[in-house]
Amino acid sequence: MVHAQQTAAVLRAASELAAVVRPGVARRILRTGDLMTVVIDFSGGPWREPDPHHSHPHEQTTYVASGEILFLAGGNEPEKLGPGDLFAVPANVPHSIQLLSESARLVDTFHPVREDFL
């Protein structure tokens, strides 16, 4: 994790080791005081079913950098998303994804910082 406190910070793909969250899911984190960006790499797809829905008191935006996912949120229809697509989730809205391709990279931004990721 890279933490910018009093100055700018850079997260380099080649030098920052990703934290393995569970098999097939690894993440790298860049944060400031109140903002967090998380690069998440998924592998081992496609998944047979979505991850369980979850919610959190943080606003979230997600950019799909590579791969294809199914995005599920609240009572909305599932959305198939691919490279260049974005989604946003307000605080406390249940949501989930399903990996449709072999792998994917998502870039999440959270406000405020998700302390449970640290």
- Per-residue model confidence as pLDDT tens for the chain (118 residues): 877 776 788 888 877 789 999 999 999 999 998 999 999 999 999 999 999 999 999 999 999 999 999 999 988 999 999 999 999 999 999 999 999 999 999 999 999 999 999 8
Could you tell me the residue range of the domain that residue 54 belongs to?
A: 2-117
Q: Residue 6: what pLDDT?
A: 67
CA–CA distance, 73 with 25 (Å, rounded to integer) = 20
In degrees to the nearest 10, what's the CA dihedral of 97, 98, 102, 107? Answer: 0
One-letter amino acid for residue 72 of the chain: L
Task: Find the CATH number of the domain harbouring 71.
Answer: 2.60.120.10
Q: State if pTM tops 0.85.
A: yes
Total number of domains constituting the chain: 1
Q: Residue 1: what pLDDT?
A: 80
CA–CA distance, 41 with 57 (Å, rounded to integer) = 23
CA–CA distance, 99 with 37 (Å, rounded to integer) = 20
